Amino acid sequence: MDEKRIVALVMAGGGGTRFWPRSRRLRPKQFLAFEDERSLLALTVDRLSGLVPPEQTLVITGKQHVDLAARETNLPPASIVGEPCLRDTAACIGYGALLARSIREDAVMLVTPADHIISPTDRFQAIVRRAAEIAASSNVLVTIGLRPHRPATGYGYIETGERIDDARPSARKVVRFCEKPDQETARRFLLAGRYVWNSGMLVFTPNVMLDAIKKHLPELHAGLMSIKDPFDAGEVARVYEELPRISIDFGVLEKAEDKVVVEADFEWDDVGTFEALARHREPDAENNVARGEAVFVDSKGSLIDNDAEGLVVVCGLDDVLVVRTQDAVLVIPRKDAERVKEVVARLEELGRERFL
C-alpha cells in the first residue's frame, strides 16, 4: 500500500470536565499539557509527523476551539475543522470520512482521539502502517488494541479471536467489544489473555466506513449524503444539527461484521483522570506523586498537580489529590477523582461562570 494514502482524523471535540480546574470550557483537556510542555493535541499531531503529511492531517474540534487548535498544532488552516455542534463520534467519524474522501480519493483513514499519551512514536507509526495495509487490502474496519498489563476498569476491552492470516500474527478478528468492566471482570479479562484494551483508534477506508454507517445507521448516512461539499461550513452546519447522536462503538462497531484488531506494542495511556499523572511519574518514598512545585509533610499516597507558579504543601493527610491552577484550587480524596464532574456541576449551579 502507498503510505501517502493515509489521512488522519484527530478527534479533539471533547469538553471534558474531569480535569477541572485545569480543564475549562475554553480549554478542554486535549489542549492541556500533562507530561510535556506541549498539549495532548499537539503531541497527537506531532506523533503523525513523517507518517501523514500536514495537509492530510485533519483536526476536528468544537467551532469555539478552532483558533486554539490552530495555534497548538501549526497545521494549515484548512486542516482544522470546526464541528458545528457535538453529535457524538458516529457523526464525527462519518463526516470525517467525507472530508478524507474529498482530500484524497484513495484515502485510508486513521481516526485517533486527541488525548492519549503514546510512546515511542516509531512503534506507533509502524502499527498504523500495518493497520492501514489491512484496511486497504481487506475492506475491513481495523481497531487498534493494547495488551493489558493491569486490570484497568477505566477502558473498554475487545475480545480477540483467530488470526486473520499467519503472515500478520498481531492482527486478529474481533469477537466482541466489551464496555468498561468492573474490577472482577477486568481481572478475568487480564487472566484470560485474549482481551485487549480498546484504544479508540480506528483505521479504515472512507467507503467501508460509510457503507457500515449506511447499514447500521441509515438516518445518519442519509444526513451525511446530503452534504455536497464537506468543506462548506454553512452547508455542513445546516445538516449537522439534525444528525443522530450516537457513538461509533455502539452505533457501528459493535454491529459491523468484518472487524479486525491489531495488537499494538507501544506504551499507551488514555489520560482519563488525574490518576494518569501518577502513572507517568516517579513516586517518592511515601508514594506521593507531584507535578510542579510541591512538598509533602507526613503524607502518603497523595497526588499534587500544581500548574501555576508557587508551592503546594500537603501536611498530615494521606491519599488526597490537590490540583492548582493560577486561579483555582481543588482538594479531593484521590479515590474520588471521578467526582470532579460533581464539582463542575455544582459550580454551574452556583453560577460561578468565570471558573467553568
User: Which residue among 37, 350, 351, 353 contacts its own copies (CB under 8 A)?
Assistant: 350
Gap between the Cα atoms of 274 and 338, Å rounded = 9
Contact in structure between 125 and 243 (CB atoms under 8 Å): no
SS3 151: coil
Q: Among 224-232, 262-270, 279-287, 336-344, which window interacts with its own copies (CB under 8 A)?
A: 336-344
User: Which residue among 314, 348, 351, 353 contacts its own copies (CB under 8 A)?
Assistant: 314
Gap between the Cα atoms of 160 and 176, Å rounded = 7
User: Which residue among 333, 348, 351, 353 contacts its own copies (CB under 8 A)?
Assistant: 333
SS3 98: helix
Of 212 and 320, which has the nearer Cβ to its own copies? 320
Of 78 and 313, which has the nearer Cβ to its own copies? 313
SS (H, E, C) 13-77: CCCCCCCCCCCECCECHHHCECCCCCEHHHHHHHCCCCCCCHHHEEEEEEHHHHHHHHHHHCCCH
User: Which residue among 80, 277, 278, 330 contacts its own copies (CB under 8 A)?
Assistant: 330
Q: From the CB of 30, what's the least distance to its own copies, in Å?
A: 23
Give burial (CB, 10 Å; 0-12/13-18/19+) of 281: middle
Using CB under 8 A as the binding rule, whether residue 317 contacts its own copies is answered as: yes
Neighbouring-strand partners of residue 177: 158
C-alpha cell, 222: 442519509
Using CB under 8 A as the binding rule, whether residue 346 contacts its own copies is answered as: yes
User: Which residue among 309, 348, 351, 353 contacts its own copies (CB under 8 A)?
Assistant: 309
Q: Compute the radius of gyration of the chain from its Cα atoms.
A: 21
Q: Among 25-33, 63-71, 146-154, 328-336, which window interacts with its own copies (CB under 8 A)?
A: 328-336
User: Which residue among 2, 37, 285, 326 contacts its own copies (CB under 8 A)?
Assistant: 326
User: Letter for the amino acid at 123?
Assistant: R
Contact in structure between 344 and 312 (CB atoms under 8 Å): no
Q: Residues 65 to 124: which contact its own copies by CB under 8 A?
A: none
User: Which residue among 69, 107, 246, 322 contacts its own copies (CB under 8 A)?
Assistant: 322
**171 phi and psi, to 5 degrees?**
-105, 125
User: Which residue among 3, 55, 242, 298 contacts its own copies (CB under 8 A)?
Assistant: 298
Using CB under 8 A as the binding rule, whether residue 297 contacts its own copies is answered as: yes
Using CB under 8 A as the binding rule, whether residue 289 contacts its own copies is answered as: no
The answer to whether the peptide bond before residue 21 is cis (omega within 30 degrees of 0) is yes
Q: From the CB of 302, what's the least distance to its own copies, in Å?
A: 9
Q: Residues 4 to 33: which contact its own copies by CB under 8 A?
A: 21
**Which spans of this chain sit near its own copies (rule: CB under 8 A)?**
21, 295, 297-298, 309-317, 320, 322, 324, 326-333, 336, 339-340, 342-343, 346-347, 350, 352, 355
